[in-house]
C-alpha cells in the first residue's frame, strides 16, 4: 500500500526500514523485516519542513529536524527521571534508541510503536493564539469559562487543559471540550491524559523558567503500549513546533510576546510584506532567505537556552 500522509514528503531509502507515513513535519518508517503495520518499533525522522496555518512552507529550515529531535530527547530525559513504572508521574516515553541510519543521524529516533489517542493534549498557562480568539468570542477556552478582563498573554493560574481533535491529513485540528474528548477516548483515559498533560506542563514550565523562557503553552500526544497497556508519552515534546516559548525578560501582557517559536514565520506570512491572503486558500509564498535564517536562529536559540548546551549541527 502507498504510504499515507503529506504528499510532497521525501521518502528516503533507509537500509532496514520501510517508509509508512509522512506528516507535515515527520516521516515514519517501520522495520523492513516486519509485517506491514505490525512492528513493535518505528523510526521517526524529523525533516526540516516547517508548517504554518496548515501549509507546509518552502524552503525548509536548515537544521530544524535536528533541533526538534535533540530537544525532544533532552526533555524526555528530564521528564522521565525517576520513572519507576508506578501510576502517576513521571511518565514513560516512547524512545527506544538513537541508533539510526547514517543518512538521518541526529534527527531521528527509534520508538515503541504506540496506539496513539486521536487527540492532541494541550496545556495552556498563558492566554494567546486560538485560546485567546475563543475567549474573546465567548469568554471560554474549549468550553472552560475564564475570568473576565484577560488580555493577550495573561497568565492562567492554574494552567488549563484544552484538548483538540487530531484531524485527518490536510484538515485543521479542532478544539474540543473535555466532554467531547471523553467520548472519543473514554472517560478514564481522558482523565488520565489531562492529569499527565498538566503535570508535564507544570514541571516543564519550571525548568524553562529557570532558563529565562516562559512556556506559554504546549501540545503533547500519548499512546498505549500494546505490550503493557500503559499510557506512554509519544511524538515530540516541548519543541518550538509544539509549544510557545516566550522571552521572560520581555514578557508584558496586553500585546504579542517576543517568541522563540514559529510565531516569527506566522507573523511574516500574515504581514503585508508576504503579500499572502490567508483566507484566499492560495499556497503561501516562498520564504525569503532572511526569514529562513532568522527562523533557524530562533530554533537554535530555543535549544541552547533551554538545554544550556551549544547546538552542534
Q: How many CB atoms lie within 10 A of CB 21?
A: 18
Is 24 a residue that touches ligand ATP (CB under 6 A)?
Answer: yes
- 172/309 with CB nearer ligand ATP: 172
Options 11, 73, 116, 185; binder of ligand ATP; rule CB under 6 A: 116
- 26/194 with CB nearer ligand ATP: 26
Is 25 a residue that touches ligand ATP (CB under 6 A)?
Answer: yes
Is 23 a residue that touches ligand ATP (CB under 6 A)?
Answer: yes
Is 48 a residue that touches ligand ATP (CB under 6 A)?
Answer: no
Options 64, 107, 112, 244; binder of ligand ATP; rule CB under 6 A: 112
Is 67 a residue that touches ligand ATP (CB under 6 A)?
Answer: no
Using CB under 6 A as the binding rule, the residues of this chain from 201 to 240 that contact ligand ATP are 221, 223, 234-235
CB 253 to ligand ATP: min, Å: 29
**In this chain, which residue has its C-beta nearest to ligand ATP?**
23
Q: Which residues pair with 222 in a beta bridge?
A: 233
- 156/190 with CB nearer ligand ATP: 190
- 232/292 with CB nearer ligand ATP: 232
Question: Got the DSSP string for 132-160?
Answer: HHHHHHHSEETTEE--TT--TT-EEEEEE
Is 52 a residue that touches ligand ATP (CB under 6 A)?
Answer: no
Catalog residues that contact ligand ATP under the rule CB under 6 A.
Answer: 23-26, 28, 42, 94, 111-114, 116, 221, 223, 234-235
Amino acid at each position: 500500500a502507498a504510504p499515507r500522509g503529506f504528499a510532497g514528503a521525501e521518502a528516503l531509502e533507509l537500509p532496514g526500514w520501510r517508509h509508512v507515513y509522512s506528516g507535515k513535519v515527520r516521516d515514519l518508517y517501520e522495520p523492513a523485516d516486519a509485517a506491514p503495520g505490525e512492528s513493535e518499533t518505528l523510526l521517526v525522522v524529523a525533516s526540516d519542513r516547517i508548517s504554518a496555518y496548515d501549509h507546509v512552507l518552502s524552503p525548509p529550515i536548515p537544521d530544524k529536524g535536528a533541533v526538534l529531535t535533540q530537544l525532544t530527547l533532552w526533555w524526555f530525559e528530564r521528564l522521565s527521571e525517576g520513572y519507576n513504572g508506578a501510576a502517576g508521574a513521571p511518565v514513560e516515553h516512547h524512545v527506544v534508541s538513537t541508533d539510526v541510519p547514517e543518512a538521518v543521524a541526529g534527527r531521528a529516533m527509534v520508538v515503541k510503536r504506540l496506539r496513539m489517542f486521536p487527540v492532541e493534549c494541550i496545556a495552556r498557562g498563558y492566554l494567546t493564539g486560538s485560546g485567546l480568539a475563543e475567549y474573546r468570542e465567548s469568554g471560554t477556552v474549549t468550553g472552560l469559562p475564564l475570568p473576565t478582563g484577560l488580555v493577550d498573554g495573561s497568565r492562567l493560574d492554574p494552567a488549563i487543559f484544552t484538548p483538540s481533535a487530531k484531524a485527518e491529513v490536510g484538515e485543521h485540528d479542532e478544539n474540543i471540550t473535555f466532554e467531547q474528548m471523553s467520548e472519543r477516548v473514554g472517560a478514564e483515559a481522558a482523565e488520565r491524559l489531562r492529569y499527565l498533560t498538566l503535570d508535564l506542563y507544570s514541571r516543564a514550565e519550571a525548568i524553562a523558567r529557570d532558563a529565562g523562557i516562559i512556556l506559554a503553552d504546549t501540545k503533547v500526544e500519548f499512546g498505549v503500549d500494546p505490550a503493557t497497556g500503559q499510557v506512554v508519552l509519544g511524538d515530540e515534546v516541548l519543541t518550538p513546533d509544539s509549544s510557545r516559548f516566550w522571552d521572560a525578560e520581555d514578557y508584558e501582557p496586553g500585546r504579542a510576546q517576543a517568541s522563540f517559536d514559529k510565531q516569527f514565520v506566522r507573523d511574516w506570512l500574515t504581514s503585508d510584506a508576504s503579500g499572502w491572503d490567508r483566507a484566499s486558500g492560495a499556497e503561501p509564498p516562498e520564504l525569503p532567505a532572511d526569514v529562513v535564517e532568522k527562523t533557524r536562529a530562533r530554533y537554535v536559540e530555543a535549544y541552547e537556552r533551554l538545554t544550556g548546551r551549544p547546538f552542534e549541527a
